[in-house]
Amino acid sequence: MKRTLVIGASEKPERYSFKAIRALRSHGHDVVALAPRAGKVEDVAFETEAKTFEGIDTVTLYVGSQNQQQYMEYVVQLKPRRVIFNPGTENDAFAEKLDEAGIRPEIACTLVLLSTGQY
């Protein structure tokens, strides 16, 4: 299974990051999460500071482009295989930086990818 970092995690059930964590876990993926505030969804406790997670395959973003600057270098240093820009998080500058680092930017929806078996 693909170890996934969710950036912008929320404990609010109506948030897509909350739904994504639950869906990722129900599909058997190892999930770690980063959020502005401590919290938890199922068995996934949120980190509040950038941490060097090992073996990250996918980073899935749930923060708008205006709040992504602080994560750009961090994500590049994690060296994931891909970064998913969920709807509303598209960022050409970030995608270009990932491309240059050999990381695949993907404009997609984590929930749709999971539900259609394309994750």
Gyration radius of the chain's alpha carbons:
13
pLDDT tens digits, 59-99:
999 999 999 999 999 999 999 999 999 999 999 999 999 99
CB 78 within 8 A of CB 56: yes
pLDDT tens digits, 8-66:
999 999 999 999 999 999 999 999 999 999 999 999 999 999 999 999 999 999 999 99
Full-model pTM: 0.96
pLDDT number for residue 1: 81
- Burial 25-64, CB ≥16 within 10 A → b, else e: beeebbbbbbbeeebebeebebeeeeeebeebebbbbbbe
What domains can you pick out in the chain, each with its CATH number? 4-115 (3.40.50.720)
- Residue 86 and residue 63: Cα distance in Å, rounded? 9
